[in-house]
Amino acid sequence: MLKLIAAGIVAVGFWQLSGAALIHAKAWLAPVLIERAWEKGLAGNEKIRPWPWADTWPVAKLEAPSRDITHYVLAGTNGGSLPFGPGHMDGTALPGEPGSIVIAAHRDTHFKFLHDIRPGEKLQLTGLNGLTRIFEVTDQEIVDARVHGIEPLDSGSELILITCQPTSEFIYRGPFRLVVTAKPVKQFRQMKRQAP
């Protein structure tokens, strides 16, 4: 009987370890596949899914050069995209288009750096069309999502980055959001690469 119990404990232990190993493998592999999909999409200006069953694809590359940060922005802000990177909010302007470009991400992973960003810092956003815009941070504020909405621009462009407030400041999963606004200061076209 003791051997059977010990075998059961060992089996459960292996099952738990394999689950943990799978999570770490996904965490390592997903960014590699997303970057490859971005490169292929940039070469052909098209939507390339990072893996066959993905319900999202890269639509932009967001960089904070002074912080040595690069993130690939995925289509949508649902549970299928946000675990893997920042998400472009449906219904807002796409990178490279005029209007309000809204990107959201988790506060403790991809947008952790937003809590330290200050007005005057530069951000780069490249769309699938190869156009890169440099944005300058103009504002950082905490808003209550229950009463504060996003008013899209009628003309011009802006970049709005949104994340939840840290749990150390407010209740867990509360309605407060950190909103960083940036205005365009320069744009240029990147050379498109040939798809591998």
Q: What is the CATH number of the domain that holds 170?
A: 2.40.260.10
Point out the least confidently predicted range of 62-76, 95-109, 157-171. Answer: 157-171
CA separation for the pair 14, 12 (Å, rounded):
5
Residue 195 lies in a domain: no
The range of the structural domain enclosing residue 131 comes to 2-189
Taking all residues of the chain, what is their mean pLDDT, rounded to a whole number?
A: 83
- What's the number of domains the chain is made of? 1
Q: Decide: pTM greater than 0.85.
A: no
Contact between residue 145 and residue 176 where contact means Cβ atoms under 8 Å apart: yes
Residue pair 74/85 in contact by the 8 Å Cβ criterion: yes
> pLDDT category, 195, cuts 50, 70, 90?
very low
| 68 vs 9 pLDDT, higher one | 68
Looking at the domain assignment, is residue 194 inside a domain? no
pLDDT value for 190: 59
More confidently predicted of 120 and 54:
120
